[in-house]
Structure 1
Amino acid sequence: MIKATIKIVLDNKARSDGSYAVCLRVLKNRKRKMISLGLKCNRANFNNGMFTKNHPNYQVENEVLLNMQARALRVIREFQAAGEDFTLREFEQQFRPQEETSSVTIYSFWEEKVKDLEIAGKAGNARAYRDVKNSFFKFNNDKGIGFKELDTKMLDKYETYLRSKNNTNGGISLKMRTIRALFNSAINKEVVSIEHYPFKTYKISKLKSAPEKRALSLDELSLFKELNTEENPHLIDAKNYFLFSFYTRGMNFMDMLKLRWTDVRNDRIVYTRSKTGKRFVIKILEPVQTILDYYRSLPSNTNYVFPLLLKENMTAMQIEYRKDKTLKKFNRDLKEIAKIQGIQTSITSYVARHSYATFLKEKNVSTDKISESMGHANLQVTMNYLKSFSNDDIDNANDKLLEL
């Protein structure tokens, strides 16, 4: 006798509004499958597989649950009567036919993906998914389309639309990779079959372009450092942030944003990079100490080193939005500095990181040492930072910057 048990339960994970999805739990051969029934409720309004009287429309929705339970039992009996064993996936296909699961719209699935990322505290990823969603539905404002309709032809038209909006290959590639990840997630959740996967024929690799290697020359760096902040006091932060990043192995702006005074320990800065989770211990060079002394002398209501996050206990999304706002100002100020000082290279926050790698290479520091100092996963990533031109420990290599 084929044995399987079913029970109506709440999902373990709360939704963004604090409610829980109502699911059919199927157990067979010590394996479990949770099938969403399209209903939700607060945990306090659910007991023993049924809605309590405090749940809105509890009588009607309890009848729905009873019907679904009866349907699940009927599916099991049909397999038993035929003497056929079945997998949990086959059970779901019989219980909830494919046309029902495929009725999930791209828009609703995308919205749920963003909410899940926000709940998980992955604010940067959530924002990236939301930005691409907004872009895609400006191109196609039909929020009722399903994944089967997202074919190669539609992706080609979306690419044409993005080019008409002056998107670069890099920007288009980023958006397409986000859509591909969303489609893969839909396949994994059996919302759509893999046979409808459009990225077998639409190749994102065609959008690959050579990475832009932008670093300041030695003369340009000297011009940058010579900016008179007494004449341009509104640019002092931008000058300090850029040089701080340069002299701390190209520290990323997000990590500078979240850097605390407790991370400054004697003659070292100790922090964990947000992007990779890698721990850094960086020797404080004299220019960095000067910058730290300047910000330590300023009044502040937080324990952050830089006046970028203006209050404690901000949520991940609040930090993400604050990062976006302050980074835009930082980059605008850098362009103003370049104009004042006659620097031809287009400067952004990331140029500090590229410049760090390039100057060490010009001082004959080995590429593997530069790669280790920047926390790269492999040498190819480091090569993307270096200009095409032609040792102890990392601290000694870093000291070479003072020779410039």
Structure 2
Amino acid sequence: MATTIKLVLDGRELSNGKHRIYLRIIKDRKKKNISLGLESKKDHFKNESFTKQHLNYQIENELLLQFKARAFKIIRELQLSQDDFTLENFEDEFRGVKNNNRLKVIEFFNEIIAEMIKSGRTANGEAYKDTRDSLVKFRGKDLCFQEITPIFLEKYEVFLRENGNQNGGIAFKMREIRAVFNKARKRKLIPKEPYPFEEYKISKLKSNPIKRALTIDEFKKIRDVDLTKYPHLQEAHHYFMFSIYTRGMNFQDMMLLKWENIQNERIYYTRSKTKGKFNLEIIEKVQEILDYYRAQNRPTQYVFPILLKDGMTPQQIANRKHKVLSRYNKKLKELAKIAGVDKKLSSYVARHSFATILKMSGTSVEKISEMMGHADVNITMSYLKEFDNEALDKENRKLLDL
């Protein structure tokens, strides 16, 4: 009986409203579904491909074609090499299990990076490249998964410290190595045991947060700064104030914000990092900034002149983001100096400042957490630690008045 391959949508809906995409192989009236690591809304997947409504549909459709071509190639090779084969034989070949004893970490890193870039997650891919390159410097290109032990991770941590990395940067790299390790386990490329991260705890790498948020007085200085003599800083000032006034919207989401997201005096958008949905009132200061950019009448769908044309590839978007963000942060430092604020201003300071200023103004942590779209109030608390320290210091100074 012929062996058939088909791309199918899982009938079970995930918590995010999407469904997993499977490669289904049917042989001798038996079937096996193999997860491809892709998801889609039910009405965004038809005839074994993503519709135009699916984000990055062209890129991910190309991935589907590659998966299917690979499946057919494996079937042909199995048919030529043996009289018969099982669905398990096919899955092992498809997942590359047959060489799992000496699976190379760097080769698998490269595979994951390629998948990220093809699916439009260019920034994630670049971050994984940094960790990959760091591992190559430490151990070389022939590192195998079985060599990653708790002792290996401890020695790698020492290597990173010797090269100027602090706890935050070390934890970031360790989390990426753990993520790659977990992907290899999930795809059954390596055995589930031994698992080095049971013993080596990334949570021990607690970073000392840098003071990022503005005080209320500093915020007012930035808000009211006179830029008459510095017109080249107007755009940076707009971006910074827009971010604060829109509950700390980050640069990525501002870059992708489209005019279609603005309806009925509200802003509707999905946060890139967490996929949380936001529905914001357009307050007066935000409206002034929007009116300024609408008057430019640029021939694109984007609100801000960060992406200058439609239809850019993920790599072009990533390159443009890097260029504009670097220029923006440089101008913010100049802006702070002119405003008389002795603080290293950056795009991320706006998000921290939004949370801290509201806390100083009496808003509850729970409400701030909800406004920022945090899944856990503890995340919000980490934003507000510096405020808590200042508040405690102020209370402590009352001893001097006794």
Q: TM-score, normalised by structure 1?
A: 0.74
Query: How many Å separate the matches in 2 of 1:236 and 1:196?
Result: 56
Instruction: Note if 1:128 corresponds to 2:127.
Output: yes
Any unmatched runs of 5+ in structure 1?
Answer: 14-22, 35-41, 52-60, 77-87, 391-404
1:321-332 maps to which residues of 2 (within 5 A)?
Answer: 321-332=319-330
1:253 to 251, 261, 281: 251
Match of 1:221 in 2: 219
Other structure's SS at 2:272 match: coil
Amino acid at match of 2:293: Y
Cα offset for 1:30? 4.6
Deviations along 1:67-108, one digit per CA (max 9) or x if unpaired, are: 5333x55xx8xxxxxxxxxxx7699889x9977322331122
Q: Is the 8 A contact 2:96 2:189 kept in 1?
A: no
Q: Is the 8 A contact 2:267 2:281 kept in 1?
A: yes
Query: How many Å separate the matches in 1 of 2:379 and 2:285?
Result: 27
Q: Is the 8 A contact 1:152 1:202 kept in 2?
A: yes
1:4-403 maps to which residues of 2 (within 5 A)?
Answer: 30=30, 32=32, 65-66=78-79, 68-70=81-83, 100-140=99-139, 142-212=140-210, 214-386=212-384, 387-388=387-388, 390=391
Query: How many Å separate the matches in 2 of 1:48 and 1:107?
Result: 24
Q: Is the 8 A contact 2:218 2:341 kept in 1?
A: yes
Deviations along 1:339-374, one digit per CA (max 9) or x if unpaired, are: 233312222111111111111122212222212211
Any unmatched runs of 5+ in structure 2?
Answer: 9-22, 35-64, 392-402
Cα offset for 1:49? 6.6
Change (3 A) 1:263 1:147: same
Cα offset for 1:314? 1.4
Alignment RMSD: 3.6
Change (3 A) 1:12 1:265: closer
Change (3 A) 1:233 1:24: closer
Q: Is the 8 A contact 2:104 2:144 kept in 1?
A: yes
Deviations along 1:173-215, one digit per CA (max 9) or x if unpaired, are: 0110010010111122232223342222222111123544521
Change (3 A) 1:26 1:362: same
If you compute each CA radius of gyration, which structure gives the higher value, 1 or 2? 1
Other structure's SS at 1:194 match: coil
Cα offset for 1:228? 2.8
Change (3 A) 1:99 1:225: same
Query: How many Å separate the matches in 2 of 1:48 and 1:104?
Result: 21
Q: Percent identity?
A: 43
Change (3 A) 1:67 1:356: same
Q: TM-score, normalised by structure 2?
A: 0.74
Query: How many Å separate the matches in 1 of 2:70 and 2:347?
Result: 55
Report the count of equivalent residues: 343
Match of 1:83 in 2: none
